[in-house]
Amino acid sequence: MNVMLKTITLRIFTIFLLSPILASAEPSYFQATAIAGDGIYSLLRRYGLDQHSCNFDQFYEINKLKKNSHLIVGRDYLLPLLIYPFNGKTIRSSVGINDWNTAVRIQQYNELMLERKLRESSFKKDKILWVPYHELNCPETDLDIPSPVSDSPEEESNALGKASGNRKFPIFGPKYAFTPLASNKLKGKVYYIVSGHGGPDPGAMGRRGGYTLCEDEYAYDVALRLCRNLVAHGATAYMITRDPNDGIRDDKFLDCDYDEVVWGEKNMPRQQKPRLFQRSDLINELYERNRLAGVTDQTAIIIHVDSRNKSERTDVFFYHQSGSEESRNLALKLHRSLKAKYMQYRSNGEYHGTVNSRDLHMLRETKVKSVYIELANIRNTFDQQRIILQSNRQYLADWLLEGLMP
C-alpha cells in the first residue's frame, strides 16, 4: 500500500510540474496615447515591442487598423502588452506559465519600463504586471529595424532608441539639427537617400577660381537638405551615405574629404563595384525589414552631379528603373516639379531636363522604386552656380520635395 501511495503521489506531483499554472484572471491590453510624431513603429519601439512581427500583427488586429495606417495624435491605442494582476508570489503563477526564463524576461521588461519612466511604480508595489504579447506567442526575435532619422533624433545614427521629442537630428549639423514638424503628409512613407560617391571616391571634379569642387560634397549637401525636408513632413528617412563631420553647410566651396561612411558607420570599399553593392544590399536589407513591419510605400532617391564637357550646360535630369512603371511615374512627377519651378523663376522660362530609363547599378539592384538624379554639369561655369550657392542647393531640395509630396 505504501509503495502504491508513493507512486500515486509522485505521479500527481509530476503532473503538477508539467501542467500550466493557472493565472488568477483574464488579462487586458495596455492603452497608450499617440503623441506628435508617432507612427506605429515608433510607438511600439517606445515600449520595446518592435522586434517581433507578431506584435505588429496583433496591434493591427486589436485596434482594427489596416497595415501602414496613420496614428491620430491624442488618441488611445491598445498595445500588444498584456496586463495581469500580480498575486504577490511569483510571475509564473500570476501569468499561468511554467518557464523560468520567460518569467525572468517579463520581470526584466517591467524593470526596464520603470527605468524608462513608462511605468509609475514597480509591479511588486502596485501589483500590476506588464507582459509583452510576444513573450507568450512568438518569443523569438524576427525583426530588427534600425531606427530611422525621423524616429530617434538623439540616437539616429545607428542604434535603436526612444525619441527625445525635441526633434533635433545631429546628422543635419548644429545649425539645422532642429527640424520642426511642418506636416504629416508623408507619414508612413520610407525614403532611402543616397548621395553619390564619397569615402575614397570624390566623384567628378570641377574647378572654380582656385577651388576644387568635389561631386560627393555637393550631392551630399543637397541630399541632407532633402532628407531634412522629408523628415519635416513626417516621413521616415534613412541617410545611406553619411559624413560624421559635415552637416548641412552654407558655404560656396565645400571642402573635399574622404571620411564618408554608410549607414551602420561602415567604411566604404575602395573598389567601385563592392562599394555600390554595399549600398544596394543595405537598402534591400532595410526594405525587407520595413516591409515585414507593414510598410507599403518605400522609395530610394540617388543624387549625383554630372561631369561633361566644360561648354555643355545641362538642366537637372532623371533616370528611372527599366520596366518599372512606379519608378518612371515618380521620375516624371519630379521632372514636372522642376519644370514648373524653372518656368516660374528662370527669365526665359525654359527647362531642358530629361527623363529616361538607364541600366545603372543603383536602379537595377535595389528592390524599392528608385530614381537617380543628376543635378548639374560640375565642369560648366553656369551649371556650377546651381550647386555652389547654398540658396540654390536649398531650392533643389525644396523642389524635389514638392515632387515627392502627395
Which among 137, 161, 193 is the end of a domain?
Answer: 137
Asked whether residue 42 falls in the same domain as residue 125, the answer is: yes
Which is more confident, 21 or 169? 169
Instruction: With cut-offs at 50, 70 and 90, classify the pLDDT of residue 72.
Output: confident
Asked whether residue 215 falls in the same domain as residue 362, the answer is: yes
Q: Has residue 183 been placed in a domain?
A: yes
CA distance 41 to 47: 10
Domain count, the chain: 2
Query: Residue 111 has what pLDDT?
Result: 93
Query: Residue 78 has what pLDDT?
Result: 96
Asked whether residue 165 falls in the same domain as residue 110, the answer is: no
pLDDT tens digits for range 114-135: 988 999 999 999 999 999 999 9
Which among 137, 163, 184 is the end of a domain?
Answer: 137
Region 142-151: what's the mean pLDDT? Answer: 54
Query: Residue 25 has what pLDDT?
Result: 54
Q: Has residue 11 been placed in a domain?
A: no
pLDDT tens digits for range 206-249: 999 999 999 999 999 999 999 999 999 999 999 999 998 999 99
Q: Has residue 147 been placed in a domain?
A: no
Q: Has residue 6 been placed in a domain?
A: no
Output the pTM of the full model. 0.67
Average pLDDT, the chain: 87
Asked whether residue 32 falls in the same domain as residue 83, the answer is: yes
Asked whether residue 166 falls in the same domain as residue 93, the answer is: no
Q: Has residue 360 been placed in a domain?
A: yes
Asked whether residue 56 falls in the same domain as residue 194, the answer is: no
Domain CATH number, residue 203: 3.40.630.40
Query: Residue 40 has what pLDDT?
Result: 81
Asked whether residue 100 falls in the same domain as residue 23, the answer is: yes
Instruction: With cut-offs at 50, 70 and 90, classify the pLDDT of residue 145.
Output: low
Asked whether residue 237 falls in the same domain as residue 339, the answer is: yes
Asked whether residue 81 falls in the same domain as residue 177, the answer is: no
Q: Has residue 145 been placed in a domain?
A: no
pLDDT tens digits for range 326-377: 999 999 999 999 999 999 988 888 999 999 999 999 999 999 999 999 999 9
Asked whether residue 257 falls in the same domain as residue 365, the answer is: yes
Residue 110's domain comprises 19-137
Q: Has residue 7 been placed in a domain?
A: no
